[in-house]
């Protein structure tokens, strides 16, 4: 018997293999087309928790957190909670010794609910409301990243105690990523400009903070964008930021000891996409910062980085059930979720893959388009991916790389409830965030009662 003849009898095929560069470490194929995720069969998880459902591999999250602290042991690693803000996930992050980057009073409340150490929390954002600032001050978070002259004045008036702050800088570095997630170049909403002819420039911001008795300027912050794959762009930003720290010392007579270089490290969403070079990133940052500090006689600052997607993105998958298959000029596979649980394809043109799970199929693979249930032509989850030609209603599909910016960006479009978040570790699953019900949606309606 040949290998090709033998494999179908074992419940798999020559063409049926798992692209390990997109799925969490340890994910594997089982018998009869099953996908084993964090030690648990995905079809059993779908039966237990329903679909669509977000699944997150706890061990994979912890391993990525440790990879960052091992690569840069001298740096503070602050998880960007906007990527996945859940009490259980934040508890894992806290237990791994990471700090936390938050963007709102709600994210601070989530951190506070699980007792995340306040001194390890940063708050930033380009338009913090008074409620955001009051929440940060109430919990006494370690640092607040200021983004405008108005914000400096507001925080100075609100702060009842001496508050450490950083100033966010626009380093004018083009990260070569999607325009809607590029944040380091001139002409977008984040940070103080380095240009002297811009009214809200960095020098004016430094002077404004120094004039506030309740604020202590601790350092600078920048973030060049998200899904950044080029290490040299981080290196360029680091060099410019050290130059600014040295210039502030010479101009304003103050030596700032903290430098936050943000996050945004890319992950591979599709098979064959090169992984981010974390070791090269760490090595080149050290060299760039060390050289600039030495050449400018500036003390080495305390470095902070803010990975989010790169810690949780590939640790998560989403499971859908097929509702219908429409065959014509193109084959459309409609599932029971869509842009309400994953808006990224519609927002950024993000691309995903998917695979059949829960049954074996020997049918030839054909290009298909996975679409959602919502009343929008743009509700497309994955385009032109190879799926078995006998795909049918009732089948399960799993989409990898959905741990970041899926649960966080989920909406109730068409009044569809948001999916549950299920944590899986060593074959054991637990509900972290329950499925949103129609009663939940109706509970906010008060005008008709």
Q: How many CB atoms lie within 10 A of CB 209?
A: 22
Same domain flag for 38 and 162: no
Q: Is residue 449 part of a domain?
A: no
For residues 298 and 319, state if they share a domain. no
pLDDT in tens, 278-302: 999 999 999 999 999 999 999 999 9
Question: Over the stretch 63-113, which tens digit does the pLDDT of each residue have?
Answer: 999 999 999 999 999 999 999 999 999 999 999 999 999 999 999 999 999
For the beta carbon of residue 51, count every other beta carbon within 10 angstroms. Answer: 20
Residue 375 in tokens: 């009343």
65 falls within a domain: yes
Q: Based on the fold, state whether residues 370 and 291 are members of the same structural domain.
A: no
Please list the alpha-helical segments (H only) found in 277-390.
278-295, 309-312, 344-348
User: CA nearest 320: which of 357, 269, 350?
Assistant: 357
On whether both 36 and 86 belong to a single domain, the answer is: no
What does the H/E/C string look like for 344-361? HHHHHCCCCCCEEECCCC
The overall longest dimension of the chain from CA atoms, in Å, is 83
Contact 308, 84 (CB under 8 A): yes
CATH number for the domain harbouring residue 186: 3.20.20.10
Same domain (yes/no): 32, 63: no
CATH number at residue 355: 2.40.37.10
Task: Give 388's pLDDT tier (boundaries 50, 70, 90).
Answer: very high
Out of 312, 327, 345, pick the residue that ends a domain: 312
Q: By the 8 A CB rule, do 396 and 322 touch? A: yes
Dihedral over Cα of 283, 289, 291, 297: its sign? negative
Q: How many domains does the chain have?
A: 2
- Domain assignment present for residue 327? The answer is yes
**289, part of any domain:** yes
Please indicate, yes or no, whether residues 52 and 64 belong to a single structural domain of this protein. no
Shared domain check, 290 and 167: yes
- Mean predicted confidence (pLDDT) in 32-57: 98
Confidence of residue 148 (pLDDT cuts 50, 70, 90): very high
Separation CA 172–CA 191 (nearest Å): 10
Mean pLDDT of the region 412-437: 98
CA proximity to 307, closest of 285, 338, 339, 340: 285
Residue 425, CB-side half-sphere exposure with 13 Å CA sphere: 13
Positions marked catalytic: 375
Contact 224, 183 (CB under 8 A): yes
Mean predicted confidence (pLDDT) in 235-253: 95
Report the pLDDT averaged over residues 102-128: 97
- Report residue 444 as tokens: 């906010």
User: Of 312, 335, 368, at which residue does a domain stop?
Assistant: 312
The model's pLDDT over 183-196, given as tens digits with 9 standing for 90+, comes to 445 566 778 988 76
Do both 216 and 320 map to the same domain?
Answer: no
* Percent of all residues in the chain with a pLDDT value above 90, rounded to a whole number: 84
- Using a cut of 0.85, tell me whether the model's pTM lies above it: yes
Q: Is 368 found in the same domain as 288?
A: no
Choose one of 312, 342, 366: the last residue of a domain. 312
Based on the domain organization, do 303 and 347 belong to the same domain?
Answer: no
Q: What is the pLDDT of residues 290-348, one digit of tens each?
A: 999 999 999 999 999 999 999 999 999 999 999 999 999 999 999 999 999 999 999 98
CA–chain centroid gap for 101, Å, is 11
The whole domain housing 389 covers 3-57+314-443
Beta-carbon contacts of residue 423 (< 8 Å; ≥ 6 apart): 56, 58, 88, 89, 429, 430, 431, 432
The answer to the question of residue 128 being in a domain is yes
């Amino acid at each position: 018997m040949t290998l090709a003849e033998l494999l179908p009898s074992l419940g798999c095929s020559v063409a049926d293999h798992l692209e390990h560069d997109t799925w969490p470490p340890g994910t594997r194929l089982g018998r009869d087309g099953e996908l084993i995720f964090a030690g648990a069969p995905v079809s059993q998880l779908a039966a237990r928790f329903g679909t669509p459902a977000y699944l997150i591999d706890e061990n994979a999250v912890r391993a990525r957190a440790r990879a960052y602290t091992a690569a840069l042991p001298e740096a503070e690693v602050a998880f960007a909670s906007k990527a996945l803000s859940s009490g259980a996930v934040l508890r894992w992050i806290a237990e791994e010794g990471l700090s936390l980057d938050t963007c709102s009073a709600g994210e601070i409340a989530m951190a506070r609910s699980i007792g995340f150490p306040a001194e390890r929390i940063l708050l930033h954002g380009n338009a913090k409301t008074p409620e955001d600032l009051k929440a940060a001050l109430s919990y006494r978070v370690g640092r607040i990243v200021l983004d405008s002259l108005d914000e400096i004045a507001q925080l100075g008036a609100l702060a009842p105690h001496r508050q450490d702050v950083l100033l966010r800088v626009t380093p004018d570095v083009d990260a070569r990523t999607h325009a809607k997630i590029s944040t380091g170049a001139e002409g977008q909403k984040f940070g103080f400009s380095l240009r002297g002819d811009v009214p809200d420039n960095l020098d004016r911001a430094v002077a404004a903070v120094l004039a506030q008795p309740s604020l202590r300027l601790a350092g600078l912050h920048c973030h060049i964008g998200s899904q950044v794959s080029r290490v040299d762009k981080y290196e360029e930003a680091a060099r410019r930021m050290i130059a600014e720290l040295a210039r502030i010392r010479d101009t304003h007579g103050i030596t700032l000891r903290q430098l936050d270089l943000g996050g945004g490290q890319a992950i591979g969403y599709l098979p064959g996409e090169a992984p981010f070079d974390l070791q090269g990133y760490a090595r080149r940052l050290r060299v760039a910062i060390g050289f600039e500090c030495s050449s400018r006689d500036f003390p080495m600052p305390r470095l902070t980085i803010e990975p989010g997607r790169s810690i949780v993105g590939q640790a998560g998958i989403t499971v859908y059930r097929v509702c219908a298959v429409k065959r014509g000029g193109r084959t459309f596979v409609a599932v029971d979720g869509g842009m309400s649980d994953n808006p990224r394809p519609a927002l950024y043109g993000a691309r995903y893959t998917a695979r059949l799970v829960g049954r074996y199929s020997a049918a030839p693979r054909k290009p298909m388009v996975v679409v959602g249930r919502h009343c929008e032509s743009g509700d497309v989850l994955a385009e032109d991916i190879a799926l078995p030609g006998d795909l049918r209603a009732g089948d399960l599909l799993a989409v990898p790389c959905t741990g970041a910016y899926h649960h966080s960006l989920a909406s109730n479009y068409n009044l569809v409830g948001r999916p549950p978040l299920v944590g899986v570790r060593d074959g054991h699953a637990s509900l972290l965030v329950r499925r949103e019900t129609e009663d939940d949606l109706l509970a906010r309606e008060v005008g008709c009662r």
